[in-house]
């Protein structure tokens, strides 16, 4: 169950990072609210998962999921250019996250 919560928390990291960008320095209320709610839930889930998953592994998985989803979303909506190098590097992050789960 801890791994499910950790993955969902990592997904929420991508939500709050994207909402932070869209908030325009906290000047837009809806993205700002989404940022606040999603960061609180993301951190709470990370903290809960770290009760049974070592801190280094939990944090690396959480950051990896958030980074890949945030970059992927940014590329999908055209805010960032998708290049072969970026896609390969993101695939490497995914491989590392899977590897951390496999050895835990």
CA angle (41 as vertex; 54, 17 as ends), nearest 5: 95
Counting Cα atoms < 13 Å in the Cβ hemisphere of 14 gives 19
C-alpha distances (whole Å) from 1 to each of 9, 21, 27, 59, 94 are 12, 31, 37, 16, 20
Q: What is the pLDDT of residues 14-38, one digit of tens each?
A: 999 999 999 999 999 999 999 999 9
Closest CA to 63 of 77, 50, 51, 78: 50
pLDDT at 29: 98
* Tens digits of residue pLDDT in 31-90: 999 999 999 999 999 999 999 999 999 999 999 999 999 999 999 999 999 999 999 999
The confidence score (pLDDT) of residue 11 equals: 97
């Amino acid at each position: 169950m801890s791994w499910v919560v950790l993955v969902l928390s990592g997904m929420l990291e991508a939500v709050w990072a994207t909402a932070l960008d869209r908030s325009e320095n906290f000047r837009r209320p809806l993205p700002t609210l989404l940022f606040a709610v999603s960061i609180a839930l993301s951190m709470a889930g990370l903290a809960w998962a770290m009760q049974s998953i070592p801190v280094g592994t939990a944090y690396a998985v959480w950051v990896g999921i958030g980074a890949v989803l945030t970059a992927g979303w940014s590329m999908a909506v055209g805010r960032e250019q998708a290049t072969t190098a970026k896609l390969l590097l993101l695939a490497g992050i995914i491989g590392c996250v899977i590897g951390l789960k496999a050895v835990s």
